[in-house]
Structure 1
Amino acid sequence: MSDRILKNGRVVEDDRLIVQLAEGEAAADIAVPAGPVLVPLAVWQARRDELLARARSGALGVWLAAGEEVAALAADLEVLQVIGLHFPKFTDGRSYSAATLLRSRYGYQGELRA
Protein backbone atom coordinates (compact mmCIF):
# COMPACT_ATOMS: atom_id res chain seq x y z
CA MET A 1 0.00 0.00 0.00
CA SER A 2 1.34 3.40 -0.87
CA ASP A 3 1.25 6.50 1.27
CA ARG A 4 -0.79 9.56 0.51
CA ILE A 5 0.56 13.08 0.32
CA LEU A 6 -0.86 16.54 -0.19
CA LYS A 7 0.33 17.83 -3.58
CA ASN A 8 -0.96 20.94 -5.32
CA GLY A 9 -3.88 21.09 -2.91
CA ARG A 10 -4.98 17.50 -3.53
CA VAL A 11 -4.45 14.23 -1.68
CA VAL A 12 -2.62 11.88 -4.05
CA GLU A 13 -0.96 8.47 -3.86
CA ASP A 14 2.78 8.59 -3.18
CA ASP A 15 4.73 5.62 -4.47
CA ARG A 16 8.13 7.27 -4.01
CA LEU A 17 10.46 5.19 -1.83
CA ILE A 18 12.94 6.84 0.53
CA VAL A 19 16.20 4.88 0.36
CA GLN A 20 18.11 4.83 3.64
CA LEU A 21 21.66 3.85 4.42
CA ALA A 22 22.03 1.22 7.10
CA GLU A 23 24.67 1.84 9.74
CA GLY A 24 28.06 1.03 8.26
CA GLU A 25 26.70 0.72 4.71
CA ALA A 26 28.76 2.50 2.04
CA ALA A 27 26.93 5.03 -0.13
CA ALA A 28 28.67 3.74 -3.24
CA ASP A 29 27.48 0.18 -2.60
CA ILE A 30 23.80 0.65 -1.75
CA ALA A 31 21.24 -0.83 -4.13
CA VAL A 32 19.04 1.88 -5.63
CA PRO A 33 15.74 0.24 -6.57
CA ALA A 34 13.91 0.93 -9.81
CA GLY A 35 10.96 3.30 -9.72
CA PRO A 36 10.52 6.66 -8.03
CA VAL A 37 12.99 7.09 -5.16
CA LEU A 38 14.68 9.65 -2.95
CA VAL A 39 18.31 8.80 -2.18
CA PRO A 40 20.42 10.20 0.66
CA LEU A 41 22.80 13.03 -0.21
CA ALA A 42 25.78 10.70 0.35
CA VAL A 43 24.45 8.27 -2.27
CA TRP A 44 23.87 11.11 -4.75
CA GLN A 45 27.41 12.39 -4.20
CA ALA A 46 28.98 8.93 -4.52
CA ARG A 47 26.99 7.87 -7.61
CA ARG A 48 25.96 11.14 -9.24
CA ASP A 49 27.10 10.28 -12.77
CA GLU A 50 25.25 6.96 -12.67
CA LEU A 51 22.02 8.52 -11.30
CA LEU A 52 21.81 11.68 -13.44
CA ALA A 53 19.49 10.26 -16.12
CA ARG A 54 17.01 9.07 -13.50
CA ALA A 55 17.10 12.47 -11.82
CA ARG A 56 16.43 14.25 -15.11
CA SER A 57 13.37 12.06 -15.70
CA GLY A 58 12.02 12.89 -12.25
CA ALA A 59 12.23 9.29 -11.08
CA LEU A 60 15.03 10.06 -8.63
CA GLY A 61 15.46 12.85 -6.12
CA VAL A 62 17.71 13.56 -3.17
CA TRP A 63 16.80 13.23 0.51
CA LEU A 64 18.56 15.78 2.75
CA ALA A 65 18.90 14.93 6.41
CA ALA A 66 18.35 17.75 8.88
CA GLY A 67 21.55 19.76 9.07
CA GLU A 68 23.02 18.66 5.73
CA GLU A 69 24.24 21.57 3.65
CA VAL A 70 21.99 22.72 0.81
CA ALA A 71 25.09 24.10 -0.92
CA ALA A 72 26.16 20.50 -1.62
CA LEU A 73 23.34 20.34 -4.20
CA ALA A 74 23.76 23.81 -5.70
CA ALA A 75 25.33 22.59 -8.95
CA ASP A 76 22.60 19.98 -9.48
CA LEU A 77 19.42 21.91 -8.70
CA GLU A 78 18.44 22.28 -12.36
CA VAL A 79 18.59 18.49 -12.77
CA LEU A 80 16.77 17.52 -9.57
CA GLN A 81 13.00 17.70 -9.91
CA VAL A 82 12.34 16.67 -6.31
CA ILE A 83 14.21 17.15 -3.03
CA GLY A 84 13.05 15.61 0.23
CA LEU A 85 13.83 17.28 3.55
CA HIS A 86 13.89 15.24 6.75
CA PHE A 87 12.26 16.69 9.86
CA PRO A 88 13.41 14.41 12.72
CA LYS A 89 11.13 16.24 15.19
CA PHE A 90 8.19 18.54 14.72
CA THR A 91 10.12 21.31 16.49
CA ASP A 92 13.35 20.88 14.49
CA GLY A 93 13.52 23.83 12.08
CA ARG A 94 16.74 22.99 10.24
CA SER A 95 14.96 21.49 7.25
CA TYR A 96 12.58 24.44 7.12
CA SER A 97 15.67 26.67 6.88
CA ALA A 98 17.03 24.43 4.12
CA ALA A 99 13.74 24.80 2.20
CA THR A 100 13.90 28.56 2.56
CA LEU A 101 17.49 28.59 1.27
CA LEU A 102 16.59 26.37 -1.67
CA ARG A 103 13.79 28.71 -2.75
CA SER A 104 15.26 32.13 -1.92
CA ARG A 105 19.02 31.85 -2.31
CA TYR A 106 19.23 29.13 -4.96
CA GLY A 107 15.96 29.77 -6.82
CA TYR A 108 14.98 26.10 -6.76
CA GLN A 109 11.64 25.62 -8.51
CA GLY A 110 11.25 21.85 -8.17
CA GLU A 111 9.16 19.89 -5.72
CA LEU A 112 10.09 20.00 -2.03
CA ARG A 113 8.90 17.23 0.27
CA ALA A 114 8.96 16.86 4.01
Structure 2
Amino acid sequence: MNSDIERELLAFINQELGTKFTSLENDAEVEKRLRIGGDDTLDFILAFSKRFDIDISEFEPANYFAGEGLMLDFIGLFKRLKGEKIPKLIPLTFGDLKKAMLTKKLV
Protein backbone atom coordinates (compact mmCIF):
# COMPACT_ATOMS: atom_id res chain seq x y z
CA MET A 1 0.00 0.00 0.00
CA ASN A 2 1.05 3.58 -0.56
CA SER A 3 3.92 4.50 1.76
CA ASP A 4 2.69 8.11 1.94
CA ILE A 5 -0.61 6.84 3.33
CA GLU A 6 1.23 4.82 5.96
CA ARG A 7 3.41 7.79 6.93
CA GLU A 8 0.36 10.04 7.29
CA LEU A 9 -1.48 7.44 9.36
CA LEU A 10 1.56 6.85 11.58
CA ALA A 11 1.98 10.59 12.15
CA PHE A 12 -1.70 10.92 13.03
CA ILE A 13 -1.65 7.98 15.47
CA ASN A 14 1.53 9.11 17.16
CA GLN A 15 0.20 12.65 17.55
CA GLU A 16 -3.30 11.62 18.61
CA LEU A 17 -2.22 8.99 21.13
CA GLY A 18 1.23 10.22 22.12
CA THR A 19 2.85 7.03 20.84
CA LYS A 20 6.03 6.39 18.87
CA PHE A 21 5.03 3.68 16.41
CA THR A 22 7.32 3.26 13.42
CA SER A 23 5.26 0.75 11.45
CA LEU A 24 1.70 -0.52 11.11
CA GLU A 25 1.06 -4.07 9.94
CA ASN A 26 -1.96 -4.12 7.61
CA ASP A 27 -3.54 -7.09 9.39
CA ALA A 28 -2.94 -5.77 12.93
CA GLU A 29 -6.14 -4.94 14.82
CA VAL A 30 -6.45 -1.28 15.75
CA GLU A 31 -7.77 -1.80 19.29
CA LYS A 32 -5.21 -4.44 20.22
CA ARG A 33 -2.19 -2.71 18.68
CA LEU A 34 -3.06 0.74 20.03
CA ARG A 35 -4.32 -0.65 23.34
CA ILE A 36 -7.53 1.34 23.22
CA GLY A 37 -11.13 0.27 23.63
CA GLY A 38 -14.69 1.42 24.19
CA ASP A 39 -15.22 5.16 24.00
CA ASP A 40 -11.52 5.76 23.30
CA THR A 41 -11.83 3.74 20.12
CA LEU A 42 -14.86 5.75 19.01
CA ASP A 43 -13.04 9.00 19.77
CA PHE A 44 -10.10 7.74 17.72
CA ILE A 45 -12.33 6.89 14.73
CA LEU A 46 -14.04 10.28 14.90
CA ALA A 47 -10.67 12.07 15.00
CA PHE A 48 -9.42 9.88 12.13
CA SER A 49 -12.52 10.71 10.10
CA LYS A 50 -12.15 14.41 10.72
CA ARG A 51 -8.40 14.53 10.06
CA PHE A 52 -8.54 12.63 6.76
CA ASP A 53 -12.05 13.67 5.65
CA ILE A 54 -13.36 10.09 5.78
CA ASP A 55 -17.08 9.40 5.40
CA ILE A 56 -18.13 7.20 8.33
CA SER A 57 -21.90 7.53 7.82
CA GLU A 58 -22.21 3.79 7.05
CA PHE A 59 -19.66 2.64 9.66
CA GLU A 60 -21.39 0.64 12.42
CA PRO A 61 -19.17 0.76 15.53
CA ALA A 62 -21.19 -2.01 17.24
CA ASN A 63 -20.02 -4.42 14.51
CA TYR A 64 -16.38 -3.73 15.37
CA PHE A 65 -16.12 -2.66 19.00
CA ALA A 66 -17.54 -3.89 22.27
CA GLY A 67 -19.04 -1.23 24.45
CA GLU A 68 -17.57 -0.49 27.79
CA GLY A 69 -18.95 -0.54 31.26
CA LEU A 70 -20.41 -2.86 33.79
CA MET A 71 -23.94 -2.65 32.35
CA LEU A 72 -22.76 -4.11 29.04
CA ASP A 73 -21.04 -6.94 30.90
CA PHE A 74 -24.33 -7.78 32.61
CA ILE A 75 -26.29 -7.59 29.35
CA GLY A 76 -23.83 -10.01 27.73
CA LEU A 77 -24.06 -12.37 30.70
CA PHE A 78 -27.87 -12.39 30.60
CA LYS A 79 -27.89 -13.02 26.84
CA ARG A 80 -25.55 -15.98 27.26
CA LEU A 81 -27.65 -17.36 30.14
CA LYS A 82 -30.76 -17.12 27.95
CA GLY A 83 -28.93 -19.00 25.20
CA GLU A 84 -28.74 -16.02 22.87
CA LYS A 85 -25.75 -15.78 20.61
CA ILE A 86 -23.61 -12.72 20.95
CA PRO A 87 -22.44 -11.67 17.49
CA LYS A 88 -18.72 -11.95 16.88
CA LEU A 89 -17.04 -8.61 16.33
CA ILE A 90 -15.33 -7.80 13.05
CA PRO A 91 -11.69 -6.81 13.59
CA LEU A 92 -10.84 -3.32 12.33
CA THR A 93 -7.29 -3.36 10.99
CA PHE A 94 -4.75 -0.78 9.93
CA GLY A 95 -5.27 -2.05 6.41
CA ASP A 96 -8.92 -0.99 6.73
CA LEU A 97 -7.86 2.50 7.84
CA LYS A 98 -5.36 2.81 4.99
CA LYS A 99 -8.02 1.72 2.51
CA ALA A 100 -10.41 4.30 3.95
CA MET A 101 -7.77 6.99 3.42
CA LEU A 102 -7.64 6.03 -0.26
CA THR A 103 -11.40 5.65 -0.82
CA LYS A 104 -12.45 8.38 1.64
CA LYS A 105 -14.97 5.99 3.19
CA LEU A 106 -14.94 3.63 6.17
CA VAL A 107 -17.67 0.99 6.16
Fold equivalence (TM over 0.5): no
Q: Which structure shows the higher strand fraction?
A: 1
- Greater relative CO (CA pairs within 8 A, separation 6+): 2
Normalised TM-score (structure 1): 0.25
Q: Which structure shows the higher helix fraction?
A: 2
Q: Which has the larger radius of gyration?
A: 2
